[in-house]
């Protein structure tokens, strides 16, 4: 299994997500709700997390901002780390139904992190109505993306009920208090190296441009156009009904058959993601039809994974947030999948995809109010976020209890809705987050999504 690499400093992209939370609508909290068959062994779980917190630096690190914003924030071992703050246990709320569980998890996800502590919290919920338990987790998106989060979670997930031996408990990491002058000095050095690196590439690039001026001009024009599309200001969502925004969120869930959805995608030589997004599009068309609103297309954000297939995984975010209009008015599900496949493929080959971190670096150096306003106007005009995270193909266990389902609720970050797919064995667990101001009838919204997904799955059954 690939190793995780932890950088000392946030990337510019991670730092941007951290900074724009000046607007609370743009909070980027990842929340997951894992349903467990039985009550997990609390002592064993506590031991696993304690062990993991000593082996995985990020679990004990807080964020320390550089003076004057001279560079991206750093991660430093928290001298006041208290594992009892980060891992808690309680009985199920209400009647212990999944609906009660989601209604508990939503405000937990909405509450901001204590920025003086590491940016994660776990709660074990026992005594659910079916006799099982649940693990509710939240983590700040500036720490990692969905792929990195899955890798981190392997520290407390097992492939057998007995679990793996933990081995000797490692020593506690030494607390760190970054020295401001050192951070300023290193920040200046980092920015100087960056500027010199850019300058050193100019002569070679200039020579290539002179050798082939037509192709060079074409390439620069394509890059400029791609960057303009990525940063194009928008102010209003395409949906005429999902227009409201608030600080609240509602959690719901759906399940689908992984083999059926893969088979459906195969009928048009597509991928699982094409079938998933086509199902979401069909559901959104139904929802708008129910409200008497005819819409040809909506605006979507889709994180596109840019991790390389190496033996090492960077713990931070390695995705590009593609933002584009997608069709919902195509009634034939096969034709809709073909259109989605072509559209997403186009997004994957946008030239600006390769310069997201430099773009983030420029935005980080603008006044925070200007950056937050610019990105806020763009993100609040998103109708839906879709995300597809590959999960485990085999049964998993947490402290002796088998995992029945795992729903990963992605952040709204200003959007009206977020639909995130997480695979597990032969099922697709689909987490649906909606802003009540945009979707006041979530039961209808979920019913329409279910119909849209079932329509696509029927092609593969």
One domain, residues 267 and 136: no
Token code pair at residue 285? 């068309």
Query: pLDDT band at 342, cuts 50/70/90?
Result: very high
pLDDT digits (tens, 9 = 90+) for 345-395: 887 766 555 545 565 665 656 666 766 766 676 778 899 999 998 888 999
Q: For residue 300, what is the DSSP state?
A: E
Confirm whether 331 is domain-assigned.
yes
Please give the Cα distance from 425 to 423 (Å, whole number).
7
Pairing of strands 417-424, 384-389: parallel
Positive or negative, the CA dihedral 283, 284, 285, 291 is positive
Check residue 194 and give its pLDDT.
65
Rounded to two decimals, the pTM is 0.85
What are the residues facing 428 on neighbouring strands? 256, 423
Please give the Cα distance from 245 to 240 (Å, whole number).
13
Averaged pLDDT score across all residues of the chain: 84
Confirm whether 282 is domain-assigned.
yes
Question: Annotated active-site positions, please?
Answer: 141
Confirm whether 211 is domain-assigned.
no
Confirm whether 198 is domain-assigned.
no
Confirm whether 190 is domain-assigned.
no
- The dihedral formed by the CA atoms of 157, 274, 358 and 78, expressed in degrees to the nearest 10: -20
Phi-psi region of 413 (alpha: psi -120 to 50; beta: other; left: phi over 0): left
Confirm whether 232 is domain-assigned.
no
Q: At what angle do helices 12-19 and 368-379 cross, to 10 degrees?
A: 90
Confirm whether 72 is domain-assigned.
yes
User: How many other C-beta atoms lie within 10 A of the C-beta of residue 412?
Assistant: 30
CA distances from 58 to 112, 116, 178, 308 (A): 18, 14, 16, 22
One domain, residues 396 and 281: yes
Scanning 212-321, the segments in alpha helix (DSSP H) are 213-231, 258-266, 272-290
Check residue 223 and give its pLDDT.
47
One domain, residues 441 and 326: yes
One domain, residues 162 and 255: no
Confirm whether 192 is domain-assigned.
no
One domain, residues 8 and 104: yes
pLDDT digits (tens, 9 = 90+) for 419-429: 999 999 999 99
Please give the Cα distance from 108 to 43 (Å, whole number).
24
One domain, residues 282 and 159: no
One domain, residues 258 and 135: no
Which of 105, 135, 167 represents a domain boundary (last residue)? 167
CATH classification of the domain holding 94:
3.30.559.10
Query: pLDDT band at 21, cuts 50/70/90?
Result: confident
Which residue in the block uniquely carries the two structure tokens 């994957």?
Answer: 348
One domain, residues 453 and 313: yes
CATH classification of the domain holding 268:
3.30.559.30
For the chain, the C-alpha Rg in angstroms (whole number) is 23
SS3 109: helix
Which of 167, 189, 206 represents a domain boundary (last residue)? 167
**Are 67 and 183 spatial neighbours (Cβ–Cβ below 8 Å)?**
yes
What are the residues facing 76 on neighbouring strands? 62
> The domain containing residue 300 runs over which residues?
250-460
Check residue 179 and give its pLDDT.
85
**Are 326 and 281 spatial neighbours (Cβ–Cβ below 8 Å)?**
yes
One domain, residues 156 and 275: no
One domain, residues 254 and 126: no
User: How many other C-beta atoms lie within 10 A of the C-beta of residue 243?
Assistant: 15
One domain, residues 261 and 162: no
Which of 136, 167, 198 represents a domain boundary (last residue)? 167
Domain count, the chain: 2
One domain, residues 115 and 255: no
Element (H, E) at 171: none
């Amino acid at each position: 299994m690939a190793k995780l690499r932890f950088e000392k400093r946030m990337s510019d992209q991670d730092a941007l997500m951290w900074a724009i939370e000046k607007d609370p609508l743009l909070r980027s909290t990842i929340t997951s709700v894992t349903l467990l068959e039985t009550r997990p062994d609390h002592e064993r779980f506590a031991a696993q997390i304690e062990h993991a917190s000593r082996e995985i630096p990020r679990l004990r690190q807080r964020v320390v901002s550089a003076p004057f914003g001279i560079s991206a924030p750093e991660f430093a071992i928290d001298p006041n780390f208290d594992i009892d703050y980060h891992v808690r246990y309680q009985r199920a709320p209400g009647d212990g139904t999944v609906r009660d569980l989601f209604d508990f998890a939503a405000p937990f996800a909405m509450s901001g992190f204590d920025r003086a502590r590491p940016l994660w919290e776990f709660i074990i919920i026992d005594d659910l109505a079916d006799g099982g338990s649940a693990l509710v987790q939240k983590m700040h998106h500036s720490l990692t993306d969905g792929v990195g989060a899955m890798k981190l979670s392997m520290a407390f997930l097992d492939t057998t009920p007995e679990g793996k031996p933990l081995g000797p408990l490692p020593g506690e990491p030494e607390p760190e208090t970054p020295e401001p002058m050192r951070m300023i000095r290193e920040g200046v050095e980092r920015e100087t190296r960056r500027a010199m690196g850019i300058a050193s590439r100019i002569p070679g690039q200039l020579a290539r441009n002179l050798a082939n001026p037509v192709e060079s001009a074409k390439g620069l024009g394509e890059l400029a156009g791609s960057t303009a599309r990525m940063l194009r200001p928008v102010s209003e969502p395409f949906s005429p009904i999902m227009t409201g925004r608030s600080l609240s969120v509602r959690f719901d869930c759906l399940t689908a058959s992984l083999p059926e959805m893969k088979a459906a995608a195969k009928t048009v030589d597509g991928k699982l993601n094409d079938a998933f997004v086509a199902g979401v599009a069909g559901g959104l068309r139904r929802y708008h039809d129910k409200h008497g609103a005819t819409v040809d297309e909506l605006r979507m954000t889709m994180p596109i994974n840019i991790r390389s297939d190496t033996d090492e995984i960077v713990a931070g975010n390695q995705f590009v947030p593609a933002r584009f209009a997608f069709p919902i008015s195509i009634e034939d599900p096969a034709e809709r999948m073909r259109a989605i496949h072509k559209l997403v493929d186009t997004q994957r080959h946008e030239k600006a995809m390769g310069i997201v971190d430099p773009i983030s670096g420029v935005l980080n150096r603008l006044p925070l109010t200007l950056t937050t306003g610019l990105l806020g106007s763009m993100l609040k005009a998103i109708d839906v976020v879709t995300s597809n995270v590959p999960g485990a193909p085999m049964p998993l266990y947490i402290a002796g209890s088998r995992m029945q389902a795992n729903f990963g609720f992605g952040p709204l970050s200003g959007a009206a809705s977020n639909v995130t797919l997480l695979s597990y064995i032969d099922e697709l667990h689909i987490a649906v987050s909606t802003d009540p101001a945009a979707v006041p009838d979530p039961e209808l919204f979920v019913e329409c999504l279910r119909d849209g997904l079932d329509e696509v799955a029927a092609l593969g059954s």
